[in-house]
């Protein structure tokens, strides 16, 4: 089974015996509740799946694991200049064809009453600007295209 | 005695005020925008009225509409909470002109303190020390002209502002113009006023504020301090009372200055005078917040005074009920934000599929949300405040750590783990909290201090759940029946 | 300093103690019977060990097994909570004999106070007034012989007892034998000891108790009173501090008597001395509870002392941390029972499908359960305690009313509504709380004071939900997939 | 539609328009949450069905309504001497054939560490005793039969 955690792909195949799962010396007991056993100590865990992501709370930490569907091997580029959340474009600081360097501010958008900068993740040339000042954007949409 | 209060706010602070109304046996009217329908605060009101329109300007900032509802619903008073219209002198005046009671200080006091430049001048006259800076009247040219005499690093602040909006630190002249423009834009969007002034950035200082109460009989008291130095993006995240930096002498001096500040504007109700305190114990007036403050609970827990209920008493003309104060123990508040602290505190959205809060001794939760609620990008990302009290600061930090460990929130990224790590960070434990602390400790940004075994454990759990079809809930309610086929779930089972 | 504590209890009080351990950074070991697996307290422990066997005698009362676990797990101490083994001198002795620290008073102190007759004699010697009665040594004939000299109404009490078990009121000689037999049976089942003694029933009295703390350095203090007069079936349901019946003079006299009682048995740790106070202000020693008390939170909220943490300090040989006390405001605790108050408070069972507790200022919830838990007939029906604090008694009652209105529990009948009605009952508001209050106010049994519109509203809701298939949740989890067919639900829809 | 509330049968057919239900001047708005409107004021309600019973929390009160299946008209006698909860029989105070009066204690059972009396709901003659001292009983089982 494959997951993504913070952009990294991880494979895992825990040993399973009925409702008990084992991995790296840790034991997970699965009943109506989840109990994780490490060094003989049991800890309650919480997990819930939302869309393709497992949200896991364990030992005071909250982690998100995206399920990678078997067979799919798309090299989806996480460095895309996408909108981190729904909001409004306040300013576009570049034009199509402009050369930009990693770290340059390309756009400014407003969401949750705060301004957020959209910053170039690598050097390149602006190929397309998908939204203009004043437009509302949804979460996850691509705001600009940047050549490699 | 007030009979029916309109609460002109939403979320957590609306809940706080509506509960105070219930306890005081005063009827309450909540107003809510369409996208707040069914949220917790609308539940707690006796009457909840939906606002027409979309966006802040047409709803929570729509003075005319709010006043009409107040009159239509037979309210005798309006409580503005914090943010929104709470520091709008024109609104306070309009409320009074409509024959209603404004639960807050006079429009004159709000105006004087709200205009940060006027406030600086009034404070200087009252003998309250202010931060070195220039009281420029806005406009990009004036800011550029004033900057050299203030020197770098400097702080741009919105004249009409508060809450970190329109505030920018400038370390280098090269960034001044860009940052000033951004600050002006943010200020305009937040307050409808783009004036900016310039102050010296006092690095290594503490943000310490004094809570005051003043009633119509002329009594003005201070209720001790709150230290709110731990801030990210100039917004407080961790607040406590008392402050380790104050001895009783400094506390009394600052308390006296705060009362002098309040008296200088004939203040009435609850208010907060903010100071910066330098490492050598000088203190400078920052601003006065002419409203209830987000972090008011820490003062309530240390003094035993119910500040919101006192606001209601004072507004109705009664004297405040608290006599000689008896301060006790130590209280800490953390602000639970829907944000990603590992990604420069970027606000987050999502649905609170699990929201299990800690309980037990010394725990208080002031929340605007509960399990099942959606966190949208429409409003401030503060979800709730967790407050603890214990006999000593050390026990208070231990209790907060315990409480945050118990807090389970799934479905929306929050700063819970960041707050948890603050609780036993040596600088926090030792009390070395300064306003630049987060940048100082994590100049490259914060990342959770996570042992490999934790992510490994998480991975085990995710894979086990995925392969055994654990915890998939399909809800058949009137609106949703048939939308999700159980068969699609079964199909996705892995061998 | 203690390093690892075994908590020999379950439910709400186990949670309370385990959280205190966490906060004090002491490791904790919970023990649980099979039917408590997965409940809240097992979650809060660092280590949770399942007890072998079934029923109380084989599990929570199994001294041998508990001691073996403590030793195996490397514990250095045992906290007994309340109930169960907390007042068993033999267990305290066995703990000490195993080389562990007993978090409580000495076995001698427990034995003296646990045997109610010895306690009466010791108290008389220490000059503490006791209730008129006869110290008979059990046996039905002795009880019948002693009754006439005490007079009716009289109270039968278990010599080994507490918590209302084995306690019976007898109004008439005709009922004496039946009631005495029932009391003896109940006492035997609860304590393994069927001795019963006889006291005069002091009608119209208040049950007021004094919390004390005593450390190994010889300091013994009292922390004021708790009034626990509102009782049903001799079990407290509503407790508050301070009591309206005490002025500072009577408080000091009772506090002094309580300290004298503690000193008479060289008491160490937290304890409670219970008194009956008559309408004319006489007070009589009832008994001393040599353990933490269910209602300890009200004292914690008024004094600001963390009693459980002080227990841990005292047991480890440290002096108590509280200095001069600063009492403040008013606290009320209500006990949330799974029971039907409209049916003579008969215990109830069920699954807590909804369990939404109130939040906000001045609210503390000490709970042993959370949403989704099953209430079984195996244990005491107390689910949780809701405690509020406010600056005054009036505000405290208003806050409790607000909190109980917010409390939603579906799936198991509870006494929430009964408690809610207490909050604004004139006798409670005026402070006319006496131990016979519930029988006095509702001689024919309590029934909710419900307007017709409420049941009509409920009916509308039930019928609308039924006809629209609202809120039917079908959970597909690993264990349950396929058990419930969605089609059977659809078939039952009404036109 | 028919419900039982505390032994009484009640019939109700609320007016319905889409997700709005009306009865005796009260309006129920049914969305993801339930909102009851009385005299223009909205109150949040909670409802959940467990077996055949709707549990309803409204205006600080908790009520239970048992659904009566249409067509079923059984005059089930609620005065039956049934076990109120699982427990153990401690004592049987009557014998078969004994005449008893309403209010007489017939049995004593223990549950949740308390003793509970099983009391005759009407005058009659003991026809059958289904459990003996020491036996465990489940909730809802008939403990004794009493003639009318």
Provide the 3-class DSSP secondary structure of residue B131.
Answer: coil
| Contact across the interface for A32 and C38, Cβ inside 8 Å | yes
CATH topology for C132-200 is: Dna Ligase; domain 1 (3.30.1490)
With an 8 Å Cβ cutoff, is A137 touching chain B?
Answer: no
Average pLDDT score over chain B: 91
pLDDT digits (tens, 9 = 90+) for C206-219: 999 999 999 999 99
Tell me the count of A-C CB pairs closer than 8 A: 16
Q: Which of B141-145, B478-482, C100-104 has the lowest mean pLDDT?
A: B478-482
Chains that touch D (3 or more CB pairs under 8 A): B, C
Q: Which of A9-23, A64-78, B120-134, B204-218 has the lowest mean pLDDT?
A: A64-78
Q: Which of C90-104, C143-157, C478-492 has the lowest mean pLDDT?
A: C478-492
Residue C153 preceded by cis peptide, ω within 30:
yes
Residues 36-55 of D with CB under 8 A from B: 40-42, 44
Distance CA(C224)–CA(C483), nearest Å, equals 56
Identify which of B48, B477, B478 has the shortest CB distance to residue D42: B48
Residue C265 has pLDDT above 70, yes or no: yes
With an 8 Å Cβ cutoff, is A23 touching chain B?
Answer: yes
Residue C491 pLDDT level (bands cut at 50, 70, 90):
very low
Residue A4 has pLDDT above 60, yes or no: yes
CATH topology for C4-103 is: Rossmann fold (3.40.50)
Residue C484 pLDDT level (bands cut at 50, 70, 90):
very low
Name the CATH architecture for the domain at C206-441: 2-Layer Sandwich (3.30)
Residues of chain C with Cβ-Cβ distance to D65 below 8 Å are 458-459, 462
Q: What is the pLDDT of residue B361?
A: 97
| Contact across the interface for C457 and D36, Cβ inside 8 Å | yes
* Phi, psi dihedrals of residue B311, rounded to the nearest 5°: -55, -45
pLDDT digits (tens, 9 = 90+) for C323-372: 889 899 999 999 999 999 998 898 999 999 999 999 999 999 999 999 99
Contact C307, B393 (CB under 8 A): no
Residue C442 pLDDT level (bands cut at 50, 70, 90):
very high
Q: What is the pLDDT of residue B136?
A: 84
| Contact across the interface for D65 and C458, Cβ inside 8 Å | yes
Chain A: give the shortest CA distance to residue C481, in Å. 12
Across B64-195, where does the E strand assignment appear?
A: 77-79, 101-102, 133-134, 154-158, 168-170
Residue B164 has pLDDT above 90, yes or no: no
Give mean pLDDT, residues C429-452.
Answer: 91
Residue B30 has pLDDT above 70, yes or no: yes
With an 8 Å Cβ cutoff, is D130 touching chain C?
Answer: no
| Contact across the interface for C398 and B24, Cβ inside 8 Å | yes
Residues of chain D with Cβ-Cβ distance to C409 below 8 Å are 57, 62
Interface test with C, best of A19, A33, A38 (most C CBs within 10 A): A33
Q: What is the pLDDT of residue B495?
A: 26
Q: What is the pLDDT of residue D48?
A: 93
pLDDT digits (tens, 9 = 90+) for B347-398: 999 999 999 999 999 999 999 999 999 999 889 899 999 999 999 999 999 9
Those residues with Cβ within 8 angstroms of residue B313's Cβ, 6 or more apart along the chain or in another chain: B215, B319, B320, B321
DSSP C435-485: TTHHHHH-TT-------HHHHHHHHHHHHHHHHHTTTEEEEE-TTTTTTS-
Q: What value, to the nearest 5°, has the Cα angle with vertex D142 and ends D137 and D144?
A: 105
Identify which of A10, A48, A108 has the shortest CB distance to residue B471: A48
Residue C162 has pLDDT above 80, yes or no: no
pLDDT digits (tens, 9 = 90+) for D20-33: 999 989 999 998 88
Across C85-234, where does the E strand assignment appear?
A: 101-102, 133-134, 154-158, 168-170, 196-200, 206-214, 220-232
Contact C264, C126 (CB under 8 A): yes
With an 8 Å Cβ cutoff, is D35 touching chain B?
Answer: yes
Tokens of D38: 């009385």
Say what angle helices C116-125 and C248-264 make with each other, to 10 degrees. Answer: 110
Contact B329, B391 (CB under 8 A): yes
| Contact across the interface for A42 and C38, Cβ inside 8 Å | no
pLDDT digits (tens, 9 = 90+) for A89-99: 888 999 999 99
Q: What is the pLDDT of residue B487?
A: 25
Interface test with B, best of A12, A61, A66, A141 (most B CBs within 10 A): A61
Q: What is the pLDDT of residue B472?
A: 56
| Contact across the interface for B47 and D44, Cβ inside 8 Å | no
Q: In this predicted model, which residue has the larger pLDDT, C26 or B157?
A: C26
pLDDT digits (tens, 9 = 90+) for C114-137: 888 899 999 999 999 999 888 887
Residue B479 has pLDDT above 50, yes or no: no
| DSSP secondary structure letter of residue C320 | P
pLDDT digits (tens, 9 = 90+) for A23-63: 989 999 998 889 999 998 999 999 999 988 999 999 999 99
Chain C residue at shortest CA distance from B398: C23
Q: In this predicted model, which residue has the larger pLDDT, C41 or C187?
A: C41
Chain B: give the shortest CA distance to residue A119, in Å. 13
Q: What is the pLDDT of residue B457?
A: 94
Residues of chain B with Cβ-Cβ distance to A31 below 8 Å are none
Residue B421 has pLDDT above 50, yes or no: yes
Q: In this predicted model, which residue has the larger pLDDT, B8 or C346?
A: B8
Residues of chain A with Cβ-Cβ distance to C47 below 8 Å are 40-42
Q: What is the pLDDT of residue A114?
A: 67
The edge-to-edge listing of strands for the beta sheet with A34-38 is: A8-11, A2-5, A61-68, A53-58, A41-50, A34-38, A26-30, A20-23, A15-17
Residue B490 has pLDDT above 70, yes or no: no
Residue C166 has pLDDT above 50, yes or no: yes
Q: Which of B193-207, B398-412, D113-127 has the lowest mean pLDDT?
A: D113-127
Which of the residues of C are catalytic? 291
Residues of chain D with Cβ-Cβ distance to C460 below 8 Å are 12, 14, 21, 23-24, 26, 28, 36
Provide the 3-class DSSP secondary structure of residue B463.
Answer: helix
Q: Which of B262-266, B476-480, C186-190 has the lowest mean pLDDT?
A: B476-480
Residues of chain A with Cβ-Cβ distance to C48 below 8 Å are 42
Residue C478 has pLDDT above 50, yes or no: no
Chain D residue at shortest CA distance from C405: D60
Q: What is the pLDDT of residue D123?
A: 84
Distance CA(C92)–CA(B23), nearest Å, equals 45
pLDDT digits (tens, 9 = 90+) for B267-281: 999 999 999 999 889
pLDDT digits (tens, 9 = 90+) for C63-89: 999 999 999 999 999 999 999 999 999
Residue C315 has pLDDT above 50, yes or no: yes
Q: What is the pLDDT of residue C223?
A: 98
Residue B204 has pLDDT above 70, yes or no: yes
Identify which of A19, A31, A40 has the shortest CB distance to residue C38: A31
Say what angle helices B89-97 and B63-72 make with each other, to 10 degrees. Answer: 30
Give mean pLDDT, residues C92-114.
Answer: 97
Q: Where are the domains of chain B?
A: 4-103, 132-200, 206-441, 460-493
Distance CA(C68)–CA(B38), nearest Å, equals 53
| Contact across the interface for C47 and A44, Cβ inside 8 Å | no
Chain B residue at shortest CA distance from D36: B43
Residues of chain D with Cβ-Cβ distance to C182 below 8 Å are 108, 115
Among residues B88, B226, B291, B420, which one is catalytic? Answer: B291
Burial A14-33 (b: 16+ CB within 10 A, else e): bebeeeebebeebbbbbeeb
Contact C257, C315 (CB under 8 A): no
Q: Where are the domains of chain D?
A: 2-68, 80-147
Residues of chain C with Cβ-Cβ distance to A32 below 8 Å are 38, 477, 479
Distance CA(C269)–CA(C214), nearest Å, equals 5
| Contact across the interface for B25 and C321, Cβ inside 8 Å | no
Residue C403 has pLDDT above 50, yes or no: yes
Identify which of A63, A111, A116 has the shortest CB distance to residue B458: A63
Q: State how beta strands B77-79 and C220-232 pair.
A: unpaired
Distance CA(B375)–CA(B411), nearest Å, equals 9
Q: What is the pLDDT of residue A139?
A: 77
Give mean pLDDT, residues B429-440.
Answer: 91
Q: Which of B405-419, C28-42, C298-312, D104-118 has the lowest mean pLDDT?
A: D104-118
Chain A: give the shortest CA distance to residue B458, in Å. 6
Distance CA(C188)–CA(C87), nearest Å, equals 15
Residue C457 pLDDT level (bands cut at 50, 70, 90):
very high
Residues of chain C with Cβ-Cβ distance to D63 below 8 Å are 454-455, 458, 462
Q: In this predicted model, which residue has the larger pLDDT, C17 or B346?
A: C17
Q: What is the pLDDT of residue B488?
A: 22
Identify which of A64, A65, A112 has the shortest CB distance to residue B379: A112
| Contact across the interface for B475 and C474, Cβ inside 8 Å | yes
pLDDT digits (tens, 9 = 90+) for D49-86: 998 899 999 999 999 999 887 665 544 444 457 777 77
Q: What is the pLDDT of residue C161?
A: 73
Q: What is the pLDDT of residue A145?
A: 86
CATH number for the domain formed by residue range(s) D80-147: 2.40.50.100
Interface test with B, best of A83, A113, A133 (most B CBs within 10 A): A113
């Amino acid at each position: 089974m494959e997951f993504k955690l913070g952009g990294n792909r991880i494979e895992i195949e825990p040993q399973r015996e009925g409702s008990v799962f084992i991995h790296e010396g840790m034991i997970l007991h699965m009943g109506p509740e989840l109990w994780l056993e490490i060094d003989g100590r049991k800890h309650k865990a919480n997990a819930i799946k939302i869309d393709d992501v497992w949200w896991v709370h364990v030992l005071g930490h909250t982690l998100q694991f995206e399920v990678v569907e078997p067979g799919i091997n798309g090299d989806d580029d996480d460095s895309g200049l996408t909108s981190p959340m729904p909001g409004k474009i306040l300013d576009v600081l570049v034009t199509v064809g402009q050369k930009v360097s990693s770290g340059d501010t390309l756009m400014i958008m407003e969401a949750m009453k705060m301004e957020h900068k959209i910053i170039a993740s690598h050097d390149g040339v602006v190929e397309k600007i998908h939204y203009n000042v004043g437009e509302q954007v949804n979460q996850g949409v691509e705001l600009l295209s940047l050549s490699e | 005695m007030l009979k029916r209060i309109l609460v002109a706010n939403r979320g957590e602070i609306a809940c706080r005020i509506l509960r105070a109304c219930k306890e005081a046996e005063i009827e309450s009217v909540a107003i809510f925008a369409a996208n707040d329908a069914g949220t917790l605060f609308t539940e707690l009101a006796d009457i909840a009225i939906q606002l027409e329109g979309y966006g802040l300007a047409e709803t929570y900032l729509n003075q005319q509409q709010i006043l009409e509802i107040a009159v239509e619903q037979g309210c005798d008073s309006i409580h503005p909470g914090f943010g929104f219209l709470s520091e709008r002198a024109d609104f306070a005046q309009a409320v009074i002109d409509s024959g209603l009671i404004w639960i807050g200080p006079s429009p004159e006091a709000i105006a004087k303190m709200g205009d940060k430049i006027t406030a600086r001048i009034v404070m200087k006259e009252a003998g309250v020390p202010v931060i070195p800076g220039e009281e420029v009247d806005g406009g990009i040219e004036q800011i550029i002209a004033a900057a050299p005499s203030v020197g770098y690093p400097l702080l741009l602040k919105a004249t009409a502002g508060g809450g970190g909006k329109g505030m920018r630190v400038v370390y280098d002249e090269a960034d001044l113009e860009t940052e000033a423009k951004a600050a002006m834009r943010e200020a305009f969007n937040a307050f409808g006023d783009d004036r900016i002034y310039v102050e010296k950035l006092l690095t290594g200082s503490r943000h310490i504020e004094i809570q005051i109460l003043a009633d119509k009989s002329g009594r003005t008291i201070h209720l001790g301090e709150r230290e709110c130095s731990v801030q990210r993006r100039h917004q407080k995240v961790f607040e406590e009372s008392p402050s380790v930096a104050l001895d009783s002498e400094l506390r009394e001096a600052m308390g006296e200055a705060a009362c002098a500040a309040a008296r200088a504007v004939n203040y009435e109700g609850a208010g907060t005078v903010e100071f910066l305190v330098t490492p050598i114990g000088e203190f400078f007036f920052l601003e006065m917040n002419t409203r209830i403050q987000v972090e008011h609970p820490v003062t309530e827990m240390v003094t035993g005074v119910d500040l919101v209920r006192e606001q209601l008493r004072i507004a109705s003309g009664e004297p405040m009920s608290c006599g000689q104060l008896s301060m006790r123990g130590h209280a800490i508040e953390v602000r639970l934000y829907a944000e990603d602290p590992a990604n420069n505190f970027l606000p987050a959205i999502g649905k609170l599929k699990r929201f299990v809060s800690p309980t037990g001794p010394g725990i208080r939760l002031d929340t605007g949300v509960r399990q099942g609620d959606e966190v949208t990008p429409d409003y401030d990302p503060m979800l709730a405040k967790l407050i603890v009290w214990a006999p000593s600061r050390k026990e208070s930090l231990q209790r907060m750590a315990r409480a945050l460990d118990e807090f389970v929130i799934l479905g929306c990224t929050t700063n819970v783990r960041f707050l948890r790590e603050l609780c036993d960070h040596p600088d926090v434990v030792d009390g070395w909290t300064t306003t630049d602390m987060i940048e100082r400790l994590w100049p490259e940004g914060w990342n959770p201090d996570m042992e490999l075994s934790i992510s490994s454990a998480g991975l085990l759990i995710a894979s086990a759940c995925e392969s055994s079809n654990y915890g998939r809930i399909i809800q058949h309610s009137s609106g949703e029946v048939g939308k999700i086929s159980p068969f699609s779930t079964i199909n996705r089972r892995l061998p």
